[in-house]
Amino acid sequence: MRILVINPNTTASMTAKIGEAARAVARRGSEVTAVSPVMGPASIESHYDEALAVPGLLQCIAQGEREGVDGYVIACFGDPGLKAARELARGPVVGIAEAAMHLASMVGTRFSVVTTLARTIGQARHLAEAYGMERFCANVRACELPVLELEEPGSNARERIVAECRRALDEDGADSIVLGCAGMADLCAHIQQTLAVPVIDGVAAGVQMVESLVALGLRTSKRGELARPLPKSMAGLLAGFTLAP
């Protein structure tokens, strides 16, 4: 099966890291490709960034549909453009926050999300509520760590993230940790070994969830809300997004 993992920001080094994490857990025979859009923000740390990331993300979905991709992972913890992507795609589309929270609810009774900046806490809480995960989510914590600092050599990002995860266990009553950024994917095994609790990386969770859906022959329903968007003209910078009848 062919799986496209889309990093909705335009930072190539992060896309490469996400791709490595995705391929590390993929089944034998799965072809996993990680891509990022040709337009959009370098990182996604606000509602503004998220909104501007969606057009490029949808271009990646459209290209994947032309190339016969079987399923998609949106590798940003805000799950930007998830429902719009599902409208375009025939196969399953999974967001990493959605996947990670659901898996965390299966391996413990309470999880805490450890994310980057405090300004994104509200977005993570909103997703927990939207996905029916609010009763499992003990807390959402931030390390006050800009996303791109995860890419800087010599950064103490790992130590700060581990420390915040430890506080989540000690103070929140959490029994598992959800990593709240795709850029943390390469830290998952280290944190799990250090803290001896389940630590869920949404990239890995998303890949395995998409693989399972494809293997079960489950595609995105085209009846009702997630039917293909109605064809209509688009103007200005969005002219290229016009859909044929």
- pLDDT tens-digit series, residues 96-118: 999 999 999 999 999 999 999 99
**Domain residue spans of the chain:** 2-96+205-241, 97-201
Do 202 and 210 meet the contact criterion of CB atoms below 8 Å apart? Answer: no
Amino acid letter, 240: G
Percent of the chain with pLDDT over 90: 89
Nearest to 145 by CA among 112, 196, 91, 181: 181
Give the per-residue pLDDT at 155: 80
CATH architecture of 2-96+205-241: 3-Layer(aba) Sandwich (3.40)
* Whole-angstrom distance, CA of residue 125 vs CA of residue 118: 12
* Whole-angstrom distance, CA of residue 104 vs CA of residue 42: 29
Asked if residue 169 has pLDDT above 90, the reply is yes
- Summarize the confidence of residues 126-144 as an average pLDDT: 97
Asked if residue 154 has pLDDT above 80, the reply is no
Average pLDDT value over all residues in the chain: 95
What pTM value is reported for the model? 0.94
Assess whether the region 2-96+205-241 and the region 97-201 belong to the same CATH fold. yes
Q: Report DSSP letters for the chain, one per residue.
A: -EEEEE-SS--HHHHHHHHHHHHHHPPTT-EEEEE--SSS-SS--SHHHHHHHHHHHHHHHHHHHHTT--EEEE-STT-TTHHHHHHH-SS-EEEHHHHHHHHHHHH-S-EEEEES-GGGHHHHHHHHHHTT-TTTEEEEEE----GGGGGSTT--HHHHHHHHHHHHHHHH--SEEEE--GGGGGGHHHHHHHHTS-EEEHHHHHHHHHHHHHHTT-----SSTTSPPPP----GGGGGGPPP-
- pLDDT tens-digit series, residues 222-232: 999 999 999 98
- pLDDT tens-digit series, residues 25-44: 999 999 999 999 999 999 99
**pLDDT grade, residue 244 (50/70/90)?**
confident
CATH class of residue range 97-201:
alpha beta
Asked if residue 161 has pLDDT above 90, the reply is yes
